[in-house]
């Protein structure tokens, strides 16, 4: 079982990245491949789920252990395969997906790619009591470093910039990961248009 790979991103597509590990290229399907492109030429660590089928051996990769763990919970639900699980993680952060399941928020879940009402109800039934270690943001725990909560610190500039970027079609997961890069050198009172420009550089990088 391959639990993670570490190396440089040698190639990037809309659905996967290729990680060069000592001269061997591993194709890894990801919820948001562009999150790894933001690292530039630095080595990346990709936490993986190794899937072996009769017709294929596939790697699914994630930027965090939390995403990896939630992905494995999701594919245990009847009707949710790896592709749908990737779509769920691309459409919503682990914090928000877990919170929606724990709060039985069918409306939120049905907005995720590939999830209809019956599947959302099945997710709640199968996972609500099985998310040990996954605690909704309002309750603290594993996700205490809540991106949305941290964004409040910038006085509202990022919230406004985020709304503008959402209007351009970027997903919540993409914007949360962009914020993780921007917050490191955020200037107090930074203009919204400057935040948007810097976020777009992160999103376009690679």
Tens-digit pLDDT profile for residues 67-90? 999 999 999 999 999 999 999 998
Residue range(s) in the chain whose domain bears CATH number 1.10.150.20: 67-139
Q: Where are the beta strands (DSSP E) in 30-117?
A: 44-52, 57-62
pLDDT tens digit sequence for 25-68? 999 999 888 778 766 678 999 999 999 888 889 999 998 998 99
138 Cβ contact list (under 8 Å, min separation 6): 99
User: Could you tell me if 112 and 97 are in contact, meaning their C-beta atoms sit under 8 angstroms apart?
Assistant: yes
Residue range(s) in the chain whose domain bears CATH number 2.40.50.140: 4-62
pLDDT at 165 over 60: yes
* N- to C-terminal Cα separation, the chain: 29
pTM of the model: 0.66
> If you average pLDDT over each of 68-72, 132-136, 189-193, which comes out highest?
68-72
User: Is CATH 2.40.50.140 what the domain over 4-62 is classified as, yes or no?
Assistant: yes
Which DSSP category does 155 fall into? T
pLDDT at 188 over 70: no
Confidence (pLDDT) at 142: 38
Confidence (pLDDT) at 68: 94
Helices (H) and strands (E) in the chain, counts: 10, 5
CA atoms within 13 A on the CB side of 176: 19
Average pLDDT for the chain: 81
Least confident of 8-12, 24-28, 108-112, 158-162: 158-162
Inter-residue long-range contacts of 60-63, CB under 8 Å, 24+ positions, other chains counted: 60/28, 60/29, 60/30, 60/85, 60/86, 61/5, 61/17, 61/19, 61/28, 61/29, 61/30, 62/30, 62/31, 62/89, 63/32, 63/35, 63/36, 63/177
**Tokens of residue 205, six digits:** 């990088």
Q: At what angle do helices 117-127 and 65-74 cross, to 10 degrees?
A: 110
pLDDT at 149 over 70: no
Q: Looking at domain 67-139, which CATH architecture does it have?
A: Orthogonal Bundle (1.10)
């Amino acid at each position: 079982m391959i639990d993670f790979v570490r190396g440089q991103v040698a190639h990037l597509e809309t659905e996967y990245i290729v990680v060069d590990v000592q001269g061997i290229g591993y194709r890894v399907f990801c919820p948001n491949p562009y999150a790894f492109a933001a690292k530039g030429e630095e080595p990346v660590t990709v936490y993986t789920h190794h899937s072996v089928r009769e017709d294929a051996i596939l790697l699914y990769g994630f930027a965090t252990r939390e995403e990896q763990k939630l992905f494995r919970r999701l594919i245990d639900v009847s009707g949710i395969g790896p592709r749908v699980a990737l779509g769920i993680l691309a459409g919503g952060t682990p914090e928000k997906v877990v919170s929606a399941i724990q709060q039985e928020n069918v409306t939120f879940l049905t907005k995720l790619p590939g999830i209809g009402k019956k599947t959302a109800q099945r997710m709640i039934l199968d996972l609500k009591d099985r998310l040990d270690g996954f605690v909704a943001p309002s309750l603290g725990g594993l996700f205490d470093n809540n991106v949305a909560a941290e964004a409040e610190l910038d006085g509202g500039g990022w919230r406004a910039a985020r709304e503008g970027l959402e209007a351009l079609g970027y997903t919540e997961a993409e914007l949360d990961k962009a914020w993780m890069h921007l917050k490191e050198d955020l200037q107090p009172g930074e203009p919204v248009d400057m935040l948007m420009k810097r976020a777009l550089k992160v999103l376009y990088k690679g």
